[in-house]
Structure 1
Amino acid sequence: MMRVFMAILCSLWAVCSVSAQSNRQEGTDRQAAIYRLPLMERAFLCTRHFEGWHDQSCYPYVGWGHRLQKGESYSARTMTKRQADALLRKDLRKFIGIFRNFGRDSLLLSEISDNKIYPNQNIIPT
């Protein structure tokens, strides 16, 4: 009886460990997939993910975090995801252009430039 129990326990343990390893590798591949994208596309997707969707309650922000400027007539109520994507890409290009002199850091600076107070001041070296 004890041998049967041990055989079942060992086979269950082996099946579970193989299953867990394959799931872990799939997750790693999915997470690593973002690193195969161009830098601009990565910045776009990360901004979109962490910024989240801004609706009417988030005024003066619309879409994926675009801050309305004087003369702009975008509406959070009528904005589509496609329009918000285009607006986010336009904002990223604009801010990267502003910080072009900083070379490869221009993308990072463009990401944090629209915040008057960055949420985590500890990550910005002084």
Structure 2
Amino acid sequence: MQTDLPETLAEVTAAFRRYEQALVANDVAVLDELFWNDPRTIRYGAGENLHGYAEIMAFRAARPSVGLERELLHTVITTHGQDFATANTTFARNGRVGRQSQTWVRRPEGWRVVAAHVSLMPPAP
């Protein structure tokens, strides 16, 4: 299995950037599209534990649509073979630093997040 095949890395990077753009714009349709539509999909957020695509969709639909802008600080995308990847980033929002990890899998319908985690670091003293 090869790591970071250029074509695969470019595809996942494009999907990650599309996700990021949709996130800060609160484009719920794109965010929903990019998560695997399956009850086994997981998203652990800064204040919520979501199990299954339906819970993730409901969270996105109810989430406030303001204050979503953030600055990406350091992003690492790694592909393993042609169908599996991880995307990890740190970000800054409202004076706080957060972390996000995503597991991406190539599905017949395209690249989809099958597991994600978002957390915030404690405030600096």
Q: Tell me, yes or no, whether TM beats 0.5.
A: no
More strand by share: 2
More helix by share: 1
Structure with higher RCO (Cα < 8 A, 6+ apart): 2
- Structure with the greater alpha carbon radius of gyration: 1
